[in-house]
Structure formats: C-alpha cells, structure tokens
A and B are shown apart, each in its own frame.
Chain A
Amino acid sequence: MDTSEDILQQASPGLIPGSGTARAAKPTRLSPSFISWLQAGPMMLVFLAFFLIPLVFVVIVSFWDYNEYQLLPAFSGRGYTDTFEGCIAQLPDLCTIAKTYLKTLKLCFLVWAITLFIGFWVAYFLAFHVKSKTWQTGLSLLCTIPFWTSNVIRMIAWIPLLGRNGLVNSGLMKTGLISQPVEWLLFSEFSVVLALVHLFTFFMVVPIFNSMIRIDKSLIEAAYDAGATGFQTLVNVIIPLAKPGIVIGSIFVITIVMGDFITIGVMGGQQIAAAGKIIETRVNALQFPAAAANAVILLVITFLIITMMSRIVDIKKEL
C-alpha cells in the first residue's frame, strides 16, 4: 500500500527516513548519520517553512491587539480574554467556548467510535478474508469514493435523501412506520455524524489494514493450534498487534474532526457550534488575533488528546 506509507510519512516525518538508516549501512565515505540527515532534510525543510514558522506566527499574532481594519502589533491578551468571556461569571451555566468545545468533543467521540468500529472490520475483512492482492487494492480504492465529490455537491445530495420530502422520509411514510416526516434526519447532530463517518472511515481503514497485513499468519495458526477460539485470537493476538494502526487512524480522525467546520456547518444547517467555526467567523470579521488565539486553543486541546493516545501506545516503538 503506497498511499498508506505516504500518509504515514507525512504524519510523522521522522519515522521512515529513520528506518532508512538501517538500509543505508553499505560501506561509504559519508557517515551514516549524515546520510540519514540528508534523507530527512528536504522533509524537515518543508516542515519548517510551511508548518513550524507559520505556527510561530500564529502564536505571536494571537497575542496582538486589533481594530476594525488592522492588526496592532502590541502585546494584548484580548484574543484570549474575549474567548473565555463569561466562563467564570456565568457559572453554573457554561460559556460559549466551553459549550462549543463540549459539542465538538462529543461529535469527535461519536465519529471516532463509529469509524473505529466500521474501519476495524473493513480492514479485518480486507486483510484476512480477501486473499488476492489485486482485490485488496481494488476494494480499498472503493473506500475513497466519498472523496470524489465536493462538499457542496455532497450537501445537495443529502437533501433529497434525508430531507423533509426526501427518499428516507417518503419511504418510511409509505410503509406506515411514521405519519409525519422525521425532522432529525437532516441538519442535526445525526446528519453531521453520518456525513463525517461516511467521509473519514477511510482514514481508519488504511492504517489498520496496514498493521494487520504485517501480522505474521503463523501467529494466528499458533493461536488456533493452542486451542484459542476465534474471539480469543482476536482479542489476544490481532487487536494488540493492530494497535499502532488503530492509534494512527484515531489520530487522523480526531485531528480532522476537531478542526472541521465545513461539514459540520453544511450538515448541521450552520446551527451546530464547532471549534473551527469560531475561527472562521473571527477571520471573516478580520479579527485575526482573536482567530489566532482560538487556533492556538484548538491546537493545544488536540495536542493533549493526541499525547494521551500516544501514552497508550508508543507508536515509534511499535513501528
């Protein structure tokens, strides 16, 4: 799987060039460590120029002041204090930012749990039940179908299906299961989760499949010979060995959903708050420092979640 390696490489640039060190052990005048630096160099430069430096700017700007039409490069915590406005004064009611993050985390958890469940079984099927390599590639390409259309088209496509006069509602009404159209099918948390799962299960499938395909088949045979049931093999052999894939897939899904505002906006009828949405509104109002402050908060929270996850599994060691 070419794509999955590409994804892995971009997710944690240190990993694959690092394993290159072992391969480059041929006798040569250049020292091995120099070669590995050389190999990792281009990616590091790209990372520095297009990720780290802009990120530093975002953090700096988040502490600037602003007015209607320009940034004022003077130290100000206004971006942050405005964001947390009312968080203490309004107690026990939650303030805007707390409500927004609770909602985002809830959506994130639901999407994560569902994509993990579906993604795990799709990957399991691909890795252990599909024998031919061609079929494995072909079937995993099928998972990319949701990406063939744009967001706008997807939104337009969901209305005839889930809308008040849509296919699902008219079908249910014909069978007599309901007498009134069901409203929560569209522009609700349900539709948001549905759309996100539909989109991002792929990001779960690929890394988990990648881990599963590396599992030595003789281990499963050994488990079977030792008298383990299918369930015991799954719990004691396959899941522990697929853990790195599960964690990487989870990181993908969680980071994407935490920052998403387009899908949540479109499927939630713009009525559901999202951490990314706050940033967008601020940017559109030209309040860049406030937007930057919110971006930093989002980054810190996402980073905390990922740190917690990598506590559970040491990805570097597992790979």
Chain B
Amino acid sequence: MTETTKKTGVSRRTLLKSTAGLAGLAAGSGAITGFPYVMSAEPKVLRYLGTAVNEGDDISKQCLKDTGIKIEYITATTDDVTKRVMTQPNSFDVLDTEYFSLKKIVPSGNILALDAKKIKEFDNITPVFTKGETPGGKKIGGQGTAPWKVLYLEGKDSKKFATSATEFVTLIPTVYNADTLGIRPDIIKRPISSWAELLNPEFKGKASILNIPSIGIMDAAMVVEATGKYKYADKGNMTKEEIDLTMKVMTEAKKAGQFRAFWKDFNESVNLMASGETVIQSMWSPAVTKVRSMGIACTFQPLKEGYRSWASGFCVSKGVSGPKLDWAYEFVNWFLSGYAGAYLNRQGYYSAVLSTAKANMEPYEWAYWMEGKPAEKDIKAPDGSLLEKTGAVRDGGSYEDRMGGVACWNAVMDENDYMVRKWNEFIAA
C-alpha cells in the first residue's frame, strides 16, 4: 500500500515511459513468442532464479567462458523465490533453491526432477546429502527437512519423495553450511558455549534473531532445548503444543526487552552487529565475515548443542525442454566441476563435490577453510580482499567438526500454517 500511494506524484509522461520500458522488457525476456526458431542465431541463455548466495558475477563470467552459456540472474529472497516458482513457473529456466522449500514446490508440480545419470559428478557428491554423514563417517543430525529425506522422487513425474535412492533427483546439491550464533567477543568478554545465552538477561536489549519464521523458529527451538525447558522429538516438525511452548518462551523474552531488533536481510544483520546495537544474534557465515572485514571483532561461535544447517541445489522449471534442457545439464555439470565450488568454499560455504573444489584451490586455502588448520598465508576472499591474516583459524574448525556438529536443518513443518500465525502473534506481543 505504501508503494502505490507514494507513486501519486508520477506524471503521465514518466508513466508512459515506464510502461514502454516494461513492454520492451517483456519482449526481451522472451515473453513475446512466435519468432522463427533459428538454432545458430540463438545464444545459449539460461534464466537462473535464486537467492544471492550462489549468484556471483565471477561464476557467470567463468561459465560463459567455459561453456558458452550465458547466465541471466534473477535474484530474490528465499520466500520470493518460492513464491515465484508457484506463481510464475515459466519465468525462469534453472532454479537454485533450498531443500526445505521442496515440501511446497514439489507438490505443485512446477519443477522437473533432474536425471542423476546425466550428472557426471553425481557419485562424488558428499555423503552429507546422500547418506546423512560426513566423509569421515560422523552421523549428522536429521531433525527438520534434512536434504537426504527429500533428495529423490519416486518417478519422473512423481510428487512423492522416495525413501531410497532413485535416478530422479529433486535438487542437485550445490552449496550448504552450518549456521550458529554470531557474537561480539570484544564486548561480551567471556566464552559463550550454548544457544541458551541468547536469552541470558546479561544481554538484555542486545540480542536478535531472524524474522523469517521458518528459520527463526529453528533458532528459537535450539534455544529452548538448550535452556533445558523442553526436549523436542523433532525440532523441524513441531506439534501445535510444541509451537505454543516455543513461542511462549520467546514472547516472554521479547516482553522483557531481551531483543534489540529482529532482522530479515543480510545487510541488516551486518549493521546491527557492526554498530554494537546487538552483541549476540543468529547470523549467517558471510555476514560474520563482512563484519570482520570492517575491522570489528565478530565470531561465528560454535555451540555445544550443535549447528542449524541449510542446503541448496539446482533443478529446472517444468517448462524447460529440448536444447534448453541440455544446456541446463551442461550448466549444472559445469557448476560441479570445480571453479564454482572453490569460489563458494572461499566464501565460507561448502561445495557439494569436494574433490573438484579441492583441485581448484591452493593447498593452504583448503587447509584453512576445510581442515581447520591455522592459515599459512593471508586468506583472501574471491574478490582479492583480505579476510584473515596468517595464523588465523576458522571459527568452528574443520569441515568434519562443523558439518558433523549439525543438529537440525531449516524446515517447513506440517503445522506451518499454525506456526506462521503464532509468529505473527509473537511479533504483536
């Protein structure tokens, strides 16, 4: 409503201009069809819908160089990506989304499962996705929408998740990470080791959580369990009573003034932390890195109860067929072939195929990011800016330790509708 009313000052001329622009945009995006199909004249273009996580300019440039496929990014927030898949399935070709949204997307029938046999590196994908364990054999916590629960479909057009491996893969894994609380060690000045600290009155008015219900409720559940108030059968699939209990604990904390603000957007979380408005909050790995690159101490604190994890991958729109589908396979295969994986690893995420990423990284980089060893040289971001000085050790340590310490995954619950209502009540309290 705000947006529409603000536009009242628009003159007829600018209105005409912008509508003409829109029409042009529609023509450019291929919405106007009926032109003769000429193979040789058509460049290989794929419209790539996803969040900003994987959408690096360097990745699309390298992809164009290696494969001749031009990637057009359509960037949206996690919620908006799902909304777009539901409402405009023909507006994209390749979809990059999180596993937890599959519970909504797959039943809608708007996406096409990919064929595992056509993915060259499929057998080399980390067992985190296929077996629910780390390469070193550590069992990973499976509460919530863990990727291995929703990785396969029963058949090509099936809307049912298969319980054992099939060749029809919902999302070809690309990137994942283990999330925890970010803290300001310079202000807190003591060790933090439990999720329960988020509600510690010591940090009254200086704590924050995410205002994205499906992720925020998981963080809240980690906190409730850490305080010893309740033990969930499955944090990622609560009963109504469990939702009530979780929100009650959070509401009491909110009323007592525990939270400074809730955040929704990457930059908001960086700002809150960097300005000292908050000293402990749920956070994402690259946001911690960003705060640190501003010269402000910030730790992505490993906690004894474990991490909350997320993972995303690729599939294609149901409208994609013919040569476009071949390009999509070509692109996914390229993505897993190493360059992109190394790029993601250097940002602090993890790539799905570890062997190819390793081949594209310097040994000292691999040792720092993946093995938890002290940096032999300065660690640089993909854009060349300095992230960590020689001698630094990654928060949480090695891949084995971090992924092996995962307790639960981002989730869509069966009682999602009820949970969203309760979340609104929490905000209104």
Contact = CB atoms under 8 A, between A and B. Distances in A.
Determine if chain A interacts with chain B.
yes
Interface of A: 3, 6-7, 10-11, 68-70, 82, 85, 96, 99-100, 103, 147, 152, 155-156, 159-160, 163-165, 183, 186-187, 252, 255-256, 258-263, 265, 268-273, 276-278, 281-287, 290, 298
Interface string B1-32: 11001101101000000000000000000000
B263 A70 contact: no
B107 interface: yes
Q: Which 8 A-B pairs have the closest CB atoms?
A: A269-B261, A259-B1, A273-B428, A270-B262, A284-B79, A96-B425, A69-B108, A270-B211
* Chain B binding surface SS class: helix
A255 to B, nearest CB: 6
A283 B264 CA distance: 15
B211 A152 contact: no
Contact of A164 (B82, B265, B275): B275
A282 B420 contact: yes
B261 A285 contact: no
A284 B83 contact: yes
A83 to B, nearest CB: 9
Contact of B412 (A68, A265, A269): A68
Contact of A256 (B5, B265, B416): B5
Most buried by A among B261, B268, B420, B427: B427
B8 A7 contact: yes
Given A260-B1, A270-B211, A286 B428 contact: no
Contact of A147 (B6, B80, B263): B6
Interface of B: 1-2, 5-6, 8-9, 11, 79-80, 82-83, 86, 103-105, 107-108, 205, 211, 213, 254, 259-265, 267-268, 271, 275-277, 412, 416-417, 420-421, 423-425, 427-429
A271 B9 contact: no
A6 B427 contact: no
Given A10-B8, A284-B79, A69 B259 contact: no
Contact of B420 (A85, A163, A265, A287): A287
Given A159-B275, A165-B275, A270-B261, A286 B6 contact: no
Nearest to A275: B1
A154 to B, nearest CB: 12
Nearest to B267: A152
A285 B416 contact: yes
A192 B428 CA distance: 15
Contact of A259 (B2, B80, B86, B259): B2
B9 A100 contact: no
Nearest to A260: B2
A282 B213 CA distance: 11
Most buried by A among B1, B104, B263: B1
B317 to A, nearest CB: 15
Contacts of B259: 269, 271
B416 A271 contact: no
B416 to A, nearest CB: 6
Nearest to A277: B427
A199 to B, nearest CB: 9
A187 B412 CA distance: 29
B427 A271 contact: yes
A164 B276 contact: yes
Given A103-B428, A152-B267, A281 B423 contact: yes
Given A165-B275, A268-B261, 10 more contacts: A69-B105, A147-B6, A156-B271, A163-B277, A269-B260, A269-B261, A270-B264, A277-B424, A285-B213, A287-B420
Nearest to A255: B5
A286 B261 contact: no
A319 to B, nearest CB: 17
Nearest to A68: B104
Most buried by A among B82, B261, B267: B261
Contacts of B425: 96
Contacts of B412: 68
A163 B268 CA distance: 14
A27 B429 CA distance: 66
B9 A7 contact: yes
Contact of A255 (B1, B103, B261, B424): B1
Given A69-B108, A263-B2, A82 B421 contact: yes
Contacts of A261: 2
Contacts of B262: 269-271
Contact of A69 (B9, B107, B276, B421): B107
Contacts of A156: 267, 271
Nearest to B107: A69
20 contacts: A10-B8, A69-B108, A70-B108, A82-B417, A100-B424, A103-B428, A152-B267, A159-B275, A159-B277, A160-B275, A255-B1, A255-B5, A259-B2, A262-B2, A270-B264, A270-B427, A273-B427, A276-B2, A283-B83, A285-B213
A9 to B, nearest CB: 9
B275 A163 contact: yes
A301 to B, nearest CB: 12
Nearest to A2: B11
A290 B205 CA distance: 33
A73 to B, nearest CB: 15
B5 A68 contact: no
Contacts of A256: 1-2, 5-6
Contact of B9 (A6, A186, A298): A6
A170 to B, nearest CB: 12
Contacts of B9: 3, 6-7
Contacts of A85: 421
B260 A187 contact: yes
A17 to B, nearest CB: 14
A260 B83 CA distance: 21
